[in-house]
Chain A
Amino acid sequence: MYQVERNKIQLLFNGFSDAVLFESSERIVEFVNESYCSLFKIKFAPDSIIGTNCEDGIIAASFQFKNPSRFIYRIEEIIEEALPIKAEQVFLRDGRFLLRDYTPISINDKVIGHLWIYKEVVQTVNQIEIANGWPKAILFDYLLNNIKVGISVLNNREEYLFVNETDLPDAGKRSFIIGKTESEYFAYNKLPFGEKSYQSDLFYKVVNEGVSSTYEYFVRDLNGNYSFKEITLYPLLNEEGIVEGVIKYAVDISEQKEKNLHLKKVIQQYEQALNNINDLVVITNKSLDVNFINHSFLNKFKAIDDKIHTLFNHIPLNKYEFYKHVFSVLEGGDANVQGKMLVDNKTEKKTWYNYFINQQDSTNENKQGGIVAILNDVTGKVELEENLLEVVKREKELNEIKSAFVNMVSHEMRTPLAIISSSAEIVQMMLANGKPKEDIDNYINQIISEVERMTAFMNDILMISKIEAGKIEFYPESVSLYDFIYNQLLPSYSPFKDSRNLELNTKGLEHTITFDGKMLRHVLQNLIDNAFKYSFNKQNPRIRLRYSKTYVTISIVDNGIGIHPEDINKLFASFSRGRNVANIAGTGIGLVVVKYFVDQHNGVISIKSKLNKGSVFSIKIPYK
């Protein structure tokens, strides 16, 4: 146990600048350091003293003290009392004095040894008044010399009146400099005197204006070493308030500077790293001035105006949602927010960004509570999602088309079937009643014609499936279009079943065109039927031929119910019908076939329509 305690003390006080001695309760020296030997002018190495009798040593050392017997007596007194003592003054013969600390070392209340520490106080004490055990001037002096701040006092001619130990450790030089200016001092010491005018200017500013001044400077100190110092000059006022000199504090901030330099290097490395990533990074202060912006960010969001350094200069203010998030973070409502933003300018392709906005740590004094915004390009991901949605949507549409088809087919078959079945029953009744053959024939013809109608309908459906499978053949021949319409189409519509007529007119020099008669007939019949169907009770539908230089335009015009603008583009898709035709029978097949046949002729079909005014379907077919 004892050994442990001793080792602890040895470990603690080895290399300690104050004089330390540790003796056992039997007054045998257990530990003594270098400083102790030098203070008491002991000519032996510390290790060789260990194990010797302490009382002998004390007697030898006592002669250095002002009152040797008092010194010895006091030590015995202290050991006997075994109470800790702090900073007790011990006067040396040469006028200096020491401060003594005593600590009894005990284990389980039993004193096992005594620890003595003597601190040297370099000051004569001739005219010092002693108050409360401490001479005030000595206390101040002690503080002045032990503080880590270089303190000096100069008169208003820049001459030194006082320099503390920290500022100039060498006692000789310290007394030498008094009464001299710094430049005189350097000259005497043959140290080159550098550029001091800046400091000099500040010195006289403090003297003349009576205000303090602080500056950082890379200076040569009084020992001739260069270091970074933070220097503060305070005016020294006399009782009348006149500046009599300057108190100068110098704090070595080299270490701080080096740390800052290191920090700067680290920041540079970070910035370099941030510049090499694909994510877009920007750091701003509270007013959204840009403190840092990485290369990726600059590539995507070029500055609008090079002279402005705010976030607005990169991301336009109309990104309302983004800025709403930025401000919510700035105002401290949220520590971080994320969102999605679409950038769609004319010069580049649409880009989607995910953004993360974080509050800067406002407790860090270097930062001012701004934001860190990180954006990543997620266009690829968004596009993938959109494509998937498109596929799902298409699948749904296909299903809808399928069920619309089944409904349509069942509906279109039922009406002719109703006619066929009723006609057949009527025939049966007539036969039973012995009606004449002519009456019966009428109903048989109805059955035949409805069967034909159903067959035509079936053919339409087959046509669609053939077209969709790409199995329709094209047989073009050169024929007069006018003759074709006049002879093959007009008779069916003169008059139409609702007793209206189809009007035909033509403009321009007639030109022979090459077309597949079957197809063209199908196309025109379909469009004309529609024109009648959707203009019930209105003016006669019209078919117009316009011969231009290279093509002919066939227009079918009606004054019917028209087509809703949003439906126009969908009309050429299978089974699609306008929204305003629910009560008009139709399959939604016709125009699909029409479009396909027009395509076969290298033609173009277009629609102009106005709701409740009418529609114009125009087909342009080139001559060759």
Chain B
Amino acid sequence: MNDTKTILVVEDQFLLLQNIIFILELNGFKTLKASDGMEGLHIATTYKPDLILSDLMMENMSGYELLEKLKEDPSTQNIPFIFLTARADVIDKDKGLGAGARAYLTKPFGAKELVAMVRTTLGLI
């Protein structure tokens, strides 16, 4: 169905991480997982995923910091980045997009919504 794109999911809530992975894999994506920003940065620079889905508030490097670090590195700066967050304010949304994120998904979100956003961002639709 697709060219098996690899997606890195960064989320500190273990259960949510597992569910997202499950949903993405069920829809034919390869996945990588990280439980905080630091780990996410390491995996992103090592494996160069096709897209990154990341939580915003995490211990040990937040989603913002992760995005900033990725933008500094030429080898990772073009990886599409989607924020997943419980912060629903418009101001936060602007901040995330301003930092260079492609999209912004507010918790709670539906599986279809998630997959559709991932596909759109990857240019698969």
- Known A-B contacts A414-B86, A497-B14; A583 and B111 likewise in contact (beta carbons under 8 Å): no
- Known A-B contacts A426-B23, A497-B14; A417 and B107 likewise in contact (beta carbons under 8 Å): yes
Q: Is B110 an interface residue (CB 8 A)?
A: yes
C-alpha gap A429/B88 in the complex (Å) = 28
Number of residues of chain A lying within 8 A (CB) of chain B: 27
Among A411, A443, A450, A536, max chain B CB count under 10 A is at A411
The 8 A CB mask of A395-439 against B (1 = contact, 0 = none) is 000000000000100111011011111110110010000000000
Q: Is the CB of B59 within 8 A of A584?
A: yes
Residue of A nearest to B35 (CB): A498
Q: Is the CB of A421 within 8 A of B108?
A: yes
A533 to chain B: which residues have CB within 8 Å? 59
The 8 A CB mask of B77-97 against A (1 = contact, 0 = none) is 000000010111100000000
Q: Is the CB of B110 within 8 A of A583?
A: no
The 8 A CB mask of A281-320 against B (1 = contact, 0 = none) is 0000000000000000000000000000000000000000
Q: Is the CB of A418 within 8 A of B111?
A: no
Contact of A425 among B14, B57, B89, B110 (CB under 8 A): B110
B87 to chain A: which residues have CB within 8 Å? 411
B89 to chain A: which residues have CB within 8 Å? 407
Q: Is A446 an interface residue (CB 8 A)?
A: yes
Q: Is the CB of A421 within 8 A of B110?
A: yes
Residues from 9 to 33 in B contacting A, C-beta threshold 8 Å: 12-16, 19-20, 22-23, 26
B43 to chain A: which residues have CB within 8 Å? none
Q: Is A269 an interface residue (CB 8 A)?
A: no
Do most interface residues of chain B lie in helix, strand or loop, or is the interface mixed?
A: loop
Q: Is the CB of A415 within 8 A of B23?
A: no
Contact of B108 among A417, A429, A497, A537 (CB under 8 A): A417
Contact of A583 among B20, B62, B106 (CB under 8 A): B62
Residue of A nearest to B63 (CB): A583
Q: Is B4 an interface residue (CB 8 A)?
A: no
Q: Is the CB of B19 within 8 A of A536?
A: no
A411 to chain B: which residues have CB within 8 Å? 86-87
- Known A-B contacts A414-B108, A415-B86, A583-B58; A422 and B16 likewise in contact (beta carbons under 8 Å): yes
Among B22, B108, B112, max chain A CB count under 10 A is at B108
C-alpha gap A414/B107 in the complex (Å) = 5
Q: Is the CB of A419 within 8 A of B22?
A: no
Q: Is the CB of B15 within 8 A of A446?
A: yes
A429 to chain B: which residues have CB within 8 Å? 26, 111
Size range of the interface on B? 20 to 34
Q: Is A1 an interface residue (CB 8 A)?
A: no
Pairs across A and B, CB under 8 Å, 5 listed:
A417-B108, A422-B23, A422-B108, A426-B111, A585-B57
Do most interface residues of chain A lie in helix, strand or loop, or is the interface mixed?
A: helix
Q: Is the CB of A426 within 8 A of B88?
A: no
The 8 A CB mask of A133-145 against B (1 = contact, 0 = none) is 0000000000000
Residue of B nearest to A413 (CB): B86
C-alpha gap A547/B87 in the complex (Å) = 45
C-alpha gap A420/B108 in the complex (Å) = 8
Q: Is the CB of B19 within 8 A of A423?
A: yes
Q: Is the CB of A419 within 8 A of B58?
A: no
Q: Is B45 an interface residue (CB 8 A)?
A: no
8 nearest A-B pairs in the assembled complex, by CB-CB distance: A414-B86, A418-B107, A422-B19, A417-B108, A418-B108, A425-B111, A414-B107, A583-B62
B75 to chain A: which residues have CB within 8 Å? none
- Known A-B contacts A425-B23, A425-B111; A418 and B16 likewise in contact (beta carbons under 8 Å): yes
B26 to chain A: which residues have CB within 8 Å? 429
- Known A-B contacts A414-B108, A426-B111, A536-B59; A419 and B23 likewise in contact (beta carbons under 8 Å): no
Q: How far is the CB of A520 from chain B (nearest CB, A)?
A: 27
C-alpha gap A583/B38 in the complex (Å) = 13
Q: How far is the CB of A194 from chain B (nearest CB, A)?
A: 102
Among B19, B109, B111, max chain A CB count under 10 A is at B19
Among B22, B60, B62, B89, max chain A CB count under 10 A is at B22
Q: How far is the CB of B113 from chain A (nearest CB, A)?
A: 10
Q: How far is the CB of B63 from chain A (nearest CB, A)?
A: 9
C-alpha gap A421/B62 in the complex (Å) = 24
Q: How far is the CB of A486 from chain B (nearest CB, A)?
A: 27
Residue of A nearest to B58 (CB): A583
C-alpha gap A543/B62 in the complex (Å) = 29
Q: How far is the CB of B31 from chain A (nearest CB, A)?
A: 14
A421 to chain B: which residues have CB within 8 Å? 108-110
Q: How far is the CB of A563 from chain B (nearest CB, A)?
A: 16
